[in-house]
Amino acid sequence: MFLGGAFSRTDGLTGSWVEFTDFAVGVAYAAIAAVVFSAIGILVASLSGRRAVAAAAIVATFLVTVPVVGVLEALGSDTTRHIVPVINPVTLVEGVKVWVFQVNTFQIGDFGPAYVGIACGVVAACIALLLVRYRKVAA
């Protein structure tokens, strides 16, 4: 896609540079999403004894939080609407994208640094809990 976009530009090297920066933003966002989602998924999977149950638990973790966020957004104030999406991993990563890459897909208010901090905290907590989990298993 990048090559097609870069070679189809009519404004020369400037257009190719724009395509490259758009491509780099997409790769960075994919990396952020992969790290957050995999940290949560591997922790949830490690708590299950069977693969099928682990897969269902991972899906449930991502799906059950969506209606919770919806209800809290519907019932809350403007501040609540801006901060509640951190409960759902998908909207947490989307909030990081909104703040880091200045994309206006949904409103996070002044809580952009909180989204980044919470995402980093979630990853660190998942890794720490995973290490604790397997330390217990090995002992």
Decide: helix, strand or coil at residue 47: coil
Q: Could you tell me the end-to-end alpha-carbon distance of the chain, in angstroms, rounded to an integer?
A: 49
Total tally of structural domains belonging to the chain: 1
What predicted TM-score, i.e. pTM, was given to this entire model? 0.84
Residue 130 and residue 42 in contact, taking contact as beta carbons nearer than 8 Å: yes
Q: Where in the sequence is the domain holding 73, given as residue range(s)? A: 2-138
Write out the chain's pLDDT in tens, 139 residues.
766 766 676 677 677 787 788 888 889 999 999 999 999 999 999 988 888 899 999 999 999 999 999 999 899 888 888 899 999 999 999 999 999 988 888 888 888 899 999 999 999 999 999 999 888 665 5
- Cβ neighbours of residue 80 closer than 8 Å, sequence gap 6 or more: 72, 73
